[in-house]
Amino acid sequence: MTRPDIFYQPAKGEKSGLPHDPFKSFVIPRPIGWISTTSKEGLDNLGPYSQFNNVSFDPPTIMFVAHQSVYKRRSKDSVVNARKTGEFVWNMATYDTREAVNASALETWDDEFPIAGVTKAPSQVVKPPRVAESPVTFECKTHSVIRIQGDSLVGHSDIVIGRVVAIHIKGEYITTDGLFDVLKAAPLARLGYHQYTAITHVFDMKMPFMPDDNVSGNTLGGETGDSDAILYKTMDPRSEDDRRLEERGRAKIASAEKTEAGNDAAGEEFRTAHI
């Protein structure tokens, strides 16, 4: 039996009526911010955060969101350390490290590295250690911390934005054609409820760009694009109106050619049927 559609307004205190809150099951899958930090006193910390993503690629910048610690009645240790020391490290969580990732979620007053059973690897630019078992790690400098007030104690959250100042990639995860081997790494991702997933297949799909955009597609695809100097030197000097007129003209020509091709095909089908 099909359930009826659901509409509710969280801002008004309304609920979905479902047995489990579905909100975090919709923005999925979410990469995991497995964050290592070191306190001002020198104590290392490791914890996973499912609100994580990159912010920009030029310069490389990432963010993670940590909800208020109910246990400690304040911001999570990762946030406190990143704010006070100005440094943190992101470690790629993978299917092989899933149990360690989950174990490191335990909030303690101690170092979570031994609790998770993972090995510390020294960083080159920042003080916090890296997870040696991770195929990729980012050393980061804290850019800013934004506090979001919630409707409950756990709802309060901190958005930590960091500049990536150094990147480590294990050679065994680089393919013969120089790409990162996603399937071998099997990055872990968070779903809703208590569910996780890992990347098991990949497919290509290139984004469409305008004919006179000679940089966006390559750059967003991770390829080397034109420098800003070359880009601005070769930019179309015409006004926006002129460029739109040409675009509409190209669209009309393409539509006419498509119609003509369809008519030709229909005519040929008719002639073939009456031979």
Residue 268: pLDDT above 70? no
Distance of CA 96 to the CA centre of its chain: 20
At 238 the pLDDT is: 76
Closest CA to 66 of 49, 53, 81: 49
144 token code pair:
């800013």
Reported for 67-72, long-range contacts at CB under 8 A and 24+ positions apart, including other chains, are 67/150, 67/154, 67/155, 67/156, 67/157, 68/150, 68/153, 68/154, 68/155, 68/156, 68/157, 69/107, 70/153, 70/154, 71/107, 72/107
**Highest mean pLDDT: which of 65-79, 88-102, 222-236?**
88-102
Length of the chain: 275
Q: In terms of CATH architecture, what is 17-198?
A: Roll (2.30)
3-state secondary structure of 171: helix
pTM given for the model: 0.79
| Lowest model confidence (mean pLDDT) among 87-101, 115-129, 252-266 | 252-266
Q: How far is residue 123's CA from residue 168's CA, in Å, rounded to a whole number?
A: 9
Query: For 39-75, how does the pLDDT look when each residue is reduced to its tens digit (9 = 90+)?
Result: 999 999 999 999 999 999 889 999 999 998 878 888 8
Question: In the structure, what pLDDT confidence band is assigned to residue 83 with cuts at 50, 70 and 90?
Answer: very high
| Domain layout of the chain by residue ranges | 17-198
3-state secondary structure of 55: strand
| pLDDT tens for each residue of 180-216 | 999 999 999 999 899 999 999 988 887 777 666 656 6
Measured from the Cβ of residue 184, the count of other Cβ atoms closer than 10 Å reads 12
DSSP β-bridge partners for residue 51: 65
Could you tell me the pLDDT band of residue 225, with boundaries at 50, 70 and 90? low
Q: What is the dihedral angle through the alpha carbons of 173, 125, 142, 112, rounded to the nearest 10 degrees? A: 70
